[in-house]
Amino acid sequence: MRKKEMKLVVTFHTTADAMATERVCKSADMPGRLIPVPRTLSAGCGMSWCTDEALEEQLTALLDANQIEREGIFHCEI
């Protein structure tokens, strides 16, 4: 069994916002990946972006600069 780690999880209202996040993060060389929304959370589209907790400020700035709307930002053990 894999050891759980604290991660930053961003949820979205729409799949389009989740996909846009993946696109802008990859172009900015920001690590992370799309994952299904963890069971402890709920989101409109069922997809979320997972990355290191330390990148919260950079990620929110990147999403704001690209006008990507997010539903919530959570610190989760996954």
What CATH code is carried by the domain that includes residue 58?
A: 3.30.70.260
Asked, for residue 1, whether it belongs to a domain, the answer is no
**Res 18 pLDDT > 80:** yes
- Locus of tokens 């959370």: 41
| pLDDT score recorded for residue 39 | 87
Q: What's the number of domains the chain is made of?
A: 1
Write down how long the chain is. Answer: 78
β-bridge partners, 34? 49
Quote the domain boundaries for residue 40.
Answer: 6-77
| pLDDT score recorded for residue 44 | 80
Can you give the pTM of this predicted structure? 0.92
**Rounded distance, CA 20 to CA 28, Å?**
12
Asked, for residue 26, whether it belongs to a domain, the answer is yes
Asked, for residue 24, whether it belongs to a domain, the answer is yes
pLDDT tens digit sequence for 20-62: 999 999 999 999 999 999 988 877 889 999 999 999 999 999 9
Asked, for residue 70, whether it belongs to a domain, the answer is yes
Asked, for residue 59, whether it belongs to a domain, the answer is yes
Gyration radius of the chain over CA positions: 12
Closest C-alpha among 68, 10, 59 to residue 38: 10
